[in-house]
Structure 1
Amino acid sequence: MQAAGLHAVNSTASPCWREMLLVGASSCSGDGNNRSALLALKGGLRTSFPGGSSSVLMVPRAVLSQRQEASSRASARAQSSLLTEPLDRNFQSAEQRVHEAVAKQVAIVEKEQSRSSQNPKFVDVRPDLTPVSTLEMLEEAYTRCGEVCAEYAKTFYLGTKLMTPERQRAIWAIYVWCRRTDELVDGPNASRITPTALDRWEDRLEDIFCGQPYDMLDAALADTVSKFPVDIQPFRDMIDGMRMDLVKSRYANFDELYLYCYNVAGTVGLMSVPIMGIDPESKATTQSVYNGALALGIANQLTNILRDVGEDARRGRVYLPQDELARFGLTDEDIFAGKVTDKWRAFMKDQIKRARMFFVEAEQSVLELDKDSRWPVWSALLLYQQILDAIEANDYDNFTKRAYVNKWKKFATLPMAYGRALLKPPGVQARSAVGIYSIIFPFKYSLGL
């Protein structure tokens, strides 16, 4: 099951890019330049420099020191609660666990906002101790992240073109990390991925947040999290979602499914909002904006699940609440049989209704985002809603038919999404609608239109 927001891999995508996304890839097809680029990634970034420094730190030393101190405190807490903490967490409902993750991210953002408001002249100390060669390497790292995003998520990539350059690059870096994480359990090497491999991937994540990236794509994320108030917990939770995919193929109820949807998709919202920013004129609370971002991730993943029922069944997986199937007189055997019946239609109507409720919850929060960040979010929201429409148009046959939005509908959705992005809290000046055409039309050919 693919994580929401990580659009299906283009069948014509370069094999080299796919290899670059995979952990442990040893080679890629293509020309020598691409092969050399991959080898450069595998070499890592801990390069010695003349004059003393033993490694390149992608995070300013002041920030790194704070993070290492926080990490030490967290480690001490983990040791003291080793016997009780996992047990307590297991007794929490999915809603409680997700609420804690949201509240933690909100607290970090509000603390940053408070610091900025108290000291408007505050400037992050990032550049001074970073070698010029490292800055050049970062520029290349972000460029590659943008190329990966453009290759695998064309519509989303187009939506980022209105964002400020710094936010745009940061979103690309987060997208690439999520893409690589998803590829671990949903890519060509998925059959060889073990829990130990995911543990190692999480170790790499910890290194990223400590400013010690393993490769160039990690370096872009390390730089991003040093500049934006992004918490590590949603990233850890996404890896937990991949762990669930390794060991779990059934979900007893919606509480279990909700936790899975949060882990693999709701987390993306929590990672992204600190980058996208909240409109300065917004009257909404920070908590409500993050709740909306979470709702959008849940809605997108529920849509993915409903679209992919037949595909997942062929892999022996059922991402549908077992108790709700039973309430409609359905079993796994009905799903494996793949026949659309009146019971199935009634069940699907109920599932689609719930997904749409999450979309409705998300819509108001999109208006509260910074005006330059709304377009990609509206684009994703409207496109995923149309997948639900396509399931209905297929008479709820998601066993043998894959609901999708064709290229022309995608193209038509972009101006609609842009129009929604112009809606704003009072006092925010709108961008000229004319500007969209200079962005969309040159890009339409790469969309295949």
Structure 2
Amino acid sequence: MPTERPLAPNYVRPTPSTPGGGRNRAALVEKARLSIKRGSKSFSAASRLFDRTTRERVWLLYAWCRRCDDIADAQDHGGELGDQSNAEDRIEAIRVLTRRALAGQPTADVAFDAFGLVAKECGITQAMADDVIAGFELDAADWRPRNEGDLLRYCFHVAGAVGVMMAVVMGVSPDDEDTLDRACDLGLAFQLANIARDLLEDDAAGRCYLPIEWLVEEDIEPGQHTKPHHRQELADMAAHMVTLMEAHEAAARIGAARLPFRSRWAVLSAARIYGEIGREVRRRGTEAWDHRVHTSKLDKIRHAAAAFFEALVNRPPKPSEMPRWTRSQLAERAASD
């Protein structure tokens, strides 16, 4: 009786593990540079202050963050939201592609291959990536924060966890928990500024990141927080959010002081740019959403110049008190949910 032949020759081997999925590093860096240039003018401007190696790695990481965000929201470089059906399938696609990238397998997606490369170069872990992906899951589930802790938990996943990875890209040891906490603080500050600025845009997309407890305290009817007759209450809540931002911004400066000069300069520039966005929202009060708050090119140059001298002196003032919410607390809230 003849023996059955295998369906595939026995010399077929699994795809070898290669950081970047086998793509040319220079090509991945260039694609990532174009992605950040298109997706975030503020972050793109700040990234130019890094040394070349760090700058390229920051671009590679940004490309993955931007691509994940676009897949999750069915959009293109942060543009208009697309069809939000099958959100769970899109999140699973992000998980699968990220796992393949971290395993050094080709993904057929430049941004994920870029992530695989920078993760290998810097020691970014699956757990770090999972913390970020959890934020996309919250949006996919139409999740709403009940209280301030929930709001900060969301900010942790979508920005604080990114700050942790960015710190590792800048050379911070994955074991340096305190400096990673401060990097997380910077991400939290960025996201709080973004939320305060984009309250009306988020509402138009069917999303609200204001805690339910805040809305109840302001006696605002469900789904009515952006109506003209609640504009003062909205301004008050945005001002409170900016106060939270400033607490985390001040804590982040302690960690920035431990970075190499050029990384410190870039981080402080970004902190000044995003901090100014939040503070401008607060200054405008009820008129904060008549026109979208942004920083001009001249403003970015001014903030970079001020950050240069701040980085040079490198004596961040010690906050009168540290932020109420810590990275470990926010991670525990996520684990217990």
TM-score by length of 1: 0.60
Paired residue for 2:33, among 139, 146, 153? 146
2:285 aligned counterpart, secondary structure: coil
Out of 337-346 and 146-155, give the one that drifted further. 337-346
Q: Cα distance, 1:275 vs. partner? A: 1.2
Give 1:112-191 correspondences, 5 Å limit: 134=22, 137-186=24-73, 187=75, 188-191=81-84
1:236 alignment partner in structure 2: 130
Q: Distance in 2 between matches of 1:384 and 1:353?
A: 13
Deviations, residues 20-40 of structure 1 (Å, cap 9, x unaligned) = xxxxxxxxxxxxxxxxxxxxx
Matches within 5 A, 1:38-437: 55=15, 57-59=17-19, 134=22, 137-186=24-73, 187=75, 188-215=81-108, 216-278=110-172, 286-339=176-229, 341-424=231-314
Matched-pair contact (CA < 8 Å) for 1:390–1:403: yes
Report the CA distance shift for 1:308/1:229 in structure 2 as closer, same or farther (over 3 A).
same
Deviations 1:271-325 (A, max 9, x none): 111111249xxxxx92221111111111111111111111122233221111122
Contact 1:265 1:301 in 2 (8 A): yes
The AA in structure 1 aligned to 2:28 is A
1:341–1:309 Cα change, 3 Å: closer
Structure 1 vs Structure 2: percent identity of aligned residues? 22
On the 8 A contact 1:310/1:400 being kept in 2, the answer is: no
Deviation at 1:162, TM superposition (A): 4.0
In 1, Cα distance between equivalents of 2:198 and 2:270: 18
Runs of at least 5 residues in structure 2 that lack an aligned partner in the other structure: 1-10, 76-80, 316-337
Matched position secondary structure for 1:394? helix
Superposed CA RMSD: 2.7
Is the deviation greater in 260-269 or in 412-421? Answer: 412-421
User: Cα distance 1:316–1:293, how it changes in 2: closer, same or farther (>3 A)?
Assistant: same
Q: CA deviation at 1:359?
A: 1.1
Contact 1:177–1:221, Cα closer than 8 Å, also in 2: yes
Q: Which runs of 5+ in 1 are unaligned?
A: 1-50, 61-129, 280-284, 426-449
Shift of 1:387: 1.0
The aligned residue for residue 323 of structure 2 is none
AA aligned to 1:211 is G
My pick for the range that moved more, 391-400 or 143-152, is 391-400
Deviation at residue 184 of structure 1 after TM alignment = 2.0
| Structure 2 contact 261–312 (Cα < 8 Å) conserved | yes
Would you say how many aligned residue pairs link Structure 1 and Structure 2?
297
Residues 253, 321 of structure 1: 8 Å contact kept:
yes
- Provide the residue aligned with 1:92 in structure 2: none
Q: Is the 8 A contact 2:19 2:120 kept in 1?
A: yes
Task: Give the counterpart letter for 1:194 in structure 2.
Answer: A
Name the residue aligned to 1:11: none
Is the contact made by 1:387 and 1:405 (CA closer than 8 Å) also made in structure 2?
A: yes
Deviation of 1:190 (Å): 4.7
CA change 1:211–1:341 in 2 (3 A) is closer
Distance apart, 1:334 and its partner CA: 4.1
Contact kept in structure 2, 1:310 and 1:338, CA below 8 Å: no
- Cα distance, 1:333–1:190 mapped onto 2, change above 3 Å: closer
SS at match of 2:229: coil
Residue 365 of structure 1 aligns to a residue whose secondary structure is: helix
C-alpha contact (below 8 Å) 1:338/1:399 kept by paired residues: no
